[in-house]
Structure formats: structure tokens, C-alpha cells
Amino acid sequence: MSHIHIPDGVLPAWLVLLGWLGAAAVLAWALFALRGSDARRQIPLLGVMAALMLVGMSTEFVPIGYHINLTIIAGIVLGPALGFIAAFVVNLILALFGHGGVTVVGLNTLVIGAECALAFLVFRAFYRAFGGQKPRIGLLAGGATVLTLFITTLLLIGIVAIGNAKPTTQMHPAPAVEGGLGAALSEGILDNELLGGEEEHASVEVNVGRFAGLALGLGSIGWIMEAVITGVVVQFVWRVQPNLIVSRRRASAFPAA
């Protein structure tokens, strides 16, 4: 879960501004990279993948407070340029729904867009190194998922550390259920048991080191879940439409690939 759930007014203005400037620069690059391509034919695919990302980011695995991003699939299918555009659209919509602040849309675009681009590069590197036979394609996608999410989680931790933010403000527990295990699960183990519950958020500040340990420790469980989902989806798509998984046309828009 590399999406930044920080509300407005928590991160310093200079970091927010850098996030927006960086996002604007990357989006300008993406539009420039797509010049000459038949973008109109790619818009429906962009819309479908953005919708899937929205659904994934709105669905939480309650016990560990984790939601899947589906950015790995989006990155593999869309490529880096379209992936960054999808990341901006998705993060803007989520911010309007209160899923993170409007001011952090720029930073979120950079993080989620980087996740799409990195997933594209890592998957293609695995594909070239280990071969793209049908029985292996799902495993390659799963491995790319774990590695990509590990790296982008480190990026998230870095942003929290640089911004001197309280990591507890990133938690967004579900409505509490009265009593025992139900309450723990409804608010999420990460929030309820390890951070002390919503009522203590105002007075408890978790240091970045502890936050990093929680994000990497519990996040790794989510990475495995997302790797399984991504592997199954990519394996299926590869069987019915392999051109969506490996496309030289999309790679040409990103010279580093």
C-alpha cells in the first residue's frame, strides 16, 4: 500500500509544492512521449485500468489495514507514460472522495506513477531474463509485484521522514464494531493494536523507524496477496491477449525500457 493517506495541512508546503511540480513535469513528459501514437485507441484501455485501480484502492483488507493498488497490472498493460496519466486521474478522484488530501495528489501521482513505471521495467526485465513461457508469466508478474511494492514502500517511508509527518495520520480505520475481536478487525490490527486506537491518535506520535517497521512488516503480507492477484490476472490476459502484456509499441515510449 504505497498510496499516501495524509490529509491536507500535515506535510510542509515546500514538499507539497515539489510534489505538484514533479507531477506536472512527469505528466508533461508522458504526453510528449505519447506524441505520434494513436492515443485515441488507448483511451478506453486507460479508462478501464484507471477504474480497476480505483476499485482496488477503495477495497481494504481489514485485519492488516491494507488495500491493493493494482498498479502493477496497470503498469504492465499501459506502460510508463499512460501509467503516470492513470495515476494522476485515480489520485485526483480519490482525493475528491477524501481518500488522502488534495494537496498530496502531486506526491501520490509521483509514487503511484513510479509504481506503474517500475512495474513495467521490472516485469520486462524478468521477462527477458527468465523467458516468457505461459507457465511462468504469472510467476514473473508476481515477482515483479513484490519487488516493485517493496521499493515504492521505501519511497513512501522516505516521504514521511522528509516531511516530518506523524505516520498515525495515515491510518484510516473503518467504523468500530463493539467489543473484542470485532473491534480489532474493524479498525485494523495496525491501527487498533499496534498504534493504540483512534482515541489515542491525538497524543501518540510514532517515530519513523517504528512506522517503517510496521509498513514493511505488515505491508509484506499485502504484497504477497497482491502478487497472487496480479499473477493470476496477468496469466489469464497472457493466454487470451498476449499483446496487452508485452508490447513493443508501449516500450518505445520509454527509452530506458
Q: Residue 165 carries which DSSP code?
A: -
- For the chain, the structural domain boundaries read 13-252
pLDDT tens-digit map of 140-160 = 999 999 999 999 888 888 887
Kindly report the CATH class assigned to 13-252.
Answer: mainly alpha
Which amino acid, 12? P
Three-state SS at 10: coil
User: Alpha-carbon Rg of the chain, whole angstroms?
Assistant: 18
pLDDT tens-digit map of 164-214 = 655 444 444 444 444 443 333 334 333 433 334 444 443 345 477 777 887
Secondary structure element (H or E) that encloses residue 67, with its range: strand 66-67
pTM over 0.75: no
